[in-house]
Chains A and B, each alone.
Chain A
Amino acid sequence: MSHFIRNCIYQGKNLFREGSYTFWVILYPIILATFFYAAFGGMMDPSFEDLKVGVEENSGITHVLEEIDFINIYEVSKDELVQKFENDEIDAFVDDNLNLTVNKSGINQTIIKEVVEQIKQTIKLNRPIDGSEFSVSYVLGRDQESNSLTVIFYSLIAMVSTYGVFAGVETASLIQANLSNIAIRINSTPLKKQNFLIAGVMVSLLLNLFANAALLLFINYILKIHLFNNIKYSTIIILLGNLFGVILGIFIGVSNKKSSTKTLMAIAITLLLSFFSGMMGPWIKVMIDKHVPFLSRVNPISIMSNNLYRINFLGSTKSLGEGVIILIGYCIMLLFASYLFLRRKSYDSI
């Protein structure tokens, strides 16, 4: 046990003191977050969460609308209506027959209109009415532009949760005698290869989780963007992302010979996957969802960012199960593929 801890401490020190590692894993995500905030911050729709809808007193529609997170309900009598509109105390008024009254057109009015339309349809189809369903299908269906920033940040978090990839690459090269000089020395000692690797994976996970926490705190307290409502499921996704990243790193590490290309490869892979998941602007995600929806179902970073978005923003866990299974599947596949390289203990050439 103490051997294991010693290995963790020394491998941790060796990783943490590596300038490029600290940069990519800790500083780079924070820089990106700041950059996105500055570049896309205007797209955030601040009033989205509190649409003010007027209803009649004791209206039958109240209980449906109440369940929709982003709608605040005000009881308004028809006489007060004009004045309330003028004072901007309500964005729209819905009567018992689901007739919508607005006095101007804007994004808030559009949203309310769509919600009301959906309620009407549900009633027509004779399905039970459940408020949360509307918000889910509504937000999924509408043009994503107004919550670009949220999508971008979920993608960013998904990406950096896989940044254990760098530590994975490093750990792999430290133990493969055909990859580094130091591995020759380590393999001549009585230290078992698997023990070194397990310690390396643990340390990589820990350091990366630490880096993730730093980023989340930065986003939450400095940029003041609140992304998490469901901590439990979000944590599961982020943990899985970490595991995926480290194992991907080990795989890249053991399956390639030259070391300078490996870090580049890790950066390229994670960046590309993040790009497709909408990190550089949601249009790419919208396009992929439209033309090759399969891609965003299998892109691990899309899986993570979509689920973070759905869990926290929409309160939906519908696709969580599938996502978790696919991610675990990737981990197992990569682990097995890495094992094929790792189990070799002496080499034809070093």
Chain B
Amino acid sequence: MKEMIVKVKNVVKRYSEKLALDHFNMEVKEGEILGLLGPNGCGKTTAINCILSLLNFDKGEIQLFGQKMTPNSYDIKRQIGLVPQEVSVFENLTVRENIDYFCGLYVDDKNTRRRYVDEAIEFVGLKDYVKYYPKKLSGGLKRRLNIACGIVHKPKLIFLDEPTVAVDAQSRNFILEGIRKLNQEGSTIIYTTHYLEEAEMLCSRIIIMDNGKDLVSGTTEELKAMITTSEKIVVSFLSLEDEMIDSMHKIPHVVDIEKKGEDLIIKFENGNNNLSNLISFITEHKLTYRKLYSQLPTLNDVFLELTGRELRD
């Protein structure tokens, strides 16, 4: 059985008036890539800072590697890597010096350190920039440096706080690929994001967060199975009267029909033959459509059903 590396139980964190974490729970098993998914301001960064004992919290319990985490838990810290949300590097040290400095806080042996630093530079693709100062790097390259400084010592547990914000699509894929590789090499990953696809693509398990609470947790499939909508069919008719929409509600398993511009999004709950039932209806009423396709629900649908709001990129 895989070991439980992170245990967060009923943590409450209040910033003077604002309740940032509201009985927040989270458990992470060794080897997972856990996605912490939620909109801006839902408390992702606060959760990480509490877990790392950088922030005090009002209530609850946090354990890392089976031990209570405190600001003085240096043995625990030794096994952790943090990629903070804000770029956090020395402004007047070069790319290589920055990576080497942080590596040196964990790795004593000179040769090992040199190898690790080289690998981290390779990993984030900053080979051509080793002598650059951070202020000369573009925003995306700075983020890559920020990542390198957090993972260079090959930690067992890595926190990545929205590492791909403001990074172009190509760099983003590069980074995601790298994170998968870190995971394959044995690191457990905690990854916060508000990008749905990213979480879906990368994470082996996802916790959806809102207003400081953990709403649900599970694999993408499990999350999608939790909601009533199991299939969405998008149709675009040439013309359609409103009464016709009403009669569509009588098609078996239809739970909701939403009009979005030209498109009609018909949501079905669990059930078979939804598409053929719809097509029968269309033929029966002699309707003309321009396009018609079936969609599986996305995490956005999950979030929508849980909170009544959309979580869009």
Chain A interface residues toward B at CB < 8 A: 2-3, 6, 10, 13-18, 177, 180-182, 184-185, 187-192, 345-350
Among the stretches B99-107, B164-172, B227-235, B299-307, the one at the interface with A is: B99-107
List 7 contacting pairs A-B, 8 Å CB cutoff, sorted by A. Answer: A18-B91, A181-B86, A181-B88, A184-B84, A185-B84, A188-B52, A350-B55
B87–A13 CB distance below 8 A: no
Residues of chain A within 8 A (CB-CB) of B90 are 10, 14, 182
Q: How far is the CB of B219 from the nearest CB of chain A, in Å?
A: 29
Closest to B76 in A: A190
Residues of chain B within 8 A (CB-CB) of A345 are 53, 71-72
Q: Is B77 an interface residue (CB 8 A)?
A: yes
The 9 residue pairs across chains A and B that have the minimum distance between CB atoms: A345-B71, A17-B92, A181-B88, A188-B82, A185-B88, A190-B74, A181-B86, A189-B105, A190-B77
Q: Is B216 an interface residue (CB 8 A)?
A: no
Tell me the complex Cα distance, A182–B149, Å: 11
A6–B104 CB distance below 8 A: yes
Closest to A185 in B: B88
Q: Is B212 an interface residue (CB 8 A)?
A: no
* Contacting residue for A18 out of B80, B82, B92, B106, CB 8 A: B92
Task: Evaluate whether A350 and B54 lie within 8 angstroms (CB atoms) in the complex, with A13-B97, A17-B92 already known.
Answer: yes
* Contacting residue for B92 out of A14, A187, A189, A191, CB 8 A: A14
Residues of chain A within 8 A (CB-CB) of B49 are 184, 350
Residues of chain B within 8 A (CB-CB) of A3 are 104-105, 108
Q: How far is the CB of B39 from the nearest CB of chain A, in Å?
A: 21
Closest to B58 in A: A348
* Contacting residue for A190 out of B15, B78, B89, CB 8 A: B78
* Contacting residue for B54 out of A16, A182, A191, A346, CB 8 A: A346
Residues of chain A within 8 A (CB-CB) of B53 are 345-346
- Chain B's interface size range is 20 to 34
Residues of chain A within 8 A (CB-CB) of B87 are 181
Tell me the complex Cα distance, A64–B45, Å: 78
Which of B82, B86, B89, B92 has the largest number of chain A CB atoms within 10 A?
B92
Residues of chain B within 8 A (CB-CB) of A6 are 101, 104
Task: Evaluate whether A10 and B82 lie within 8 angstroms (CB atoms) in the complex, with A177-B54, A187-B54 already known.
Answer: no
Tell me the complex Cα distance, A192–B105, Å: 10
A181–B105 CB distance below 8 A: no
Residues of chain A within 8 A (CB-CB) of B149 are 185
Q: Is B257 an interface residue (CB 8 A)?
A: no
Q: How far is the CB of A136 from the nearest CB of chain B, in Å?
A: 48
Closest to B87 in A: A181
Q: How far is the CB of A207 from the nearest CB of chain B, in Å?
A: 13
Residues of chain B within 8 A (CB-CB) of A191 are 105
Tell me the complex Cα distance, A109–B43, Å: 81
Residues of chain B within 8 A (CB-CB) of A349 are 15-16, 55
Q: Is B56 an interface residue (CB 8 A)?
A: yes
A188–B54 CB distance below 8 A: yes
A348–B15 CB distance below 8 A: yes
Residues of chain A within 8 A (CB-CB) of B297 are none
Tell me the complex Cα distance, A253–B110, Å: 34
Tell me the complex Cα distance, A350–B52, Å: 13
- Bits for B4-31, please: 1 = Cβ < 8 Å to A, else 0: 0000000000011000000000000000
Q: How far is the CB of B158 from the nearest CB of chain A, in Å?
A: 11
